[in-house]
């Protein structure tokens, strides 16, 4: 993950997690989300079957704050981000996800909140999972 030409967060093999926060989210949801990410069985086992978690494998997680996940394009052609939490509410909750993952034993890299980030993802699989709590 790069900001203004500087690499600010990088991992090897692991999970890239785009975290969006809405108005109703709180620390309980942040903790549950981190636990779900940590134990989600989407990593290959020795037979090539998605049967292991990041906790069982690389322990590496890249957490990217992504308010645009709450973009609503159901009406018209311009998305609305009304459902996305204001930065003052969202930033501590994204940090709570990071803190909980680290407490569980993850090596966590992050970007910088409220910056234009270039996220370079090599999606090996590809596997994309939407988690809503």
133 domain residue, yes or no: no
Residue 98 domain boundaries: 2-110
Q: Is 8 within a domain?
A: yes
Catalytic: 29?
no
pLDDT, residue 123, reads 86
Select which of 2, 22, 58, 67 is catalytic.
67
CB 50 within 8 A of CB 73: no
Residue of 2, 58, 66, 95 marked active site: 66
Q: What is the CATH number of the domain that holds 104?
A: 3.50.80.10
Q: Classify residue 77: in a domain, yes or no.
A: yes
Asked about 95 being catalytic, the answer comes back as no
Instruction: Compute the distance between CA of residue 80 and CA of residue 74 in angstroms, rounded to an integer.
Output: 9
Q: Is 66 a catalytic site residue? A: yes
Domain count, the chain: 1
Q: How far is CA 58 from CA 13, 83, 98, in A?
A: 7, 34, 16
pLDDT digits (tens, 9 = 90+) for 18-57: 999 999 999 999 999 999 999 999 999 999 999 999 999 9
pTM: 0.94
Residue 126 forms part of a structural domain: no
57 burial level (CB within 10 Å; 0-12, 13-18, 19+): middle
| Whether pLDDT at 130 is above 80 | yes
pLDDT digits (tens, 9 = 90+) for 111-125: 999 999 999 998 887
For the chain, counts of helices (H) and of strands (E) = 2, 7
């Amino acid at each position: 993950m790069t900001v203004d030409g500087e690499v600010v967060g990088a991992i090897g093999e692991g999970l890239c997690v785009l975290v969006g926060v809405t108005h109703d989210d709180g620390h309980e949801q942040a903790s549950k989300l981190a636990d779900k990410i940590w134990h989600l069985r989407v990593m290959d086992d020795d037979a090539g079957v998605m049967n292991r978690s990041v906790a069982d494998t690389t322990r590496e997680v890249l957490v990217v704050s992504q308010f645009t996940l709450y973009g609503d394009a159901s009406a018209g052609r311009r998305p609305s981000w009304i459902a996305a939490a204001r930065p003052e509410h969202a930033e501590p909750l994204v940090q709570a996800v990071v803190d909980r993952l680290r407490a569980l034993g993850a090596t966590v890299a992050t970007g910088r909140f409220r910056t234009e980030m270039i996220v370079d993802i090599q999606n090996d699989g590809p596997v994309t999972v939407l988690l809503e709590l």
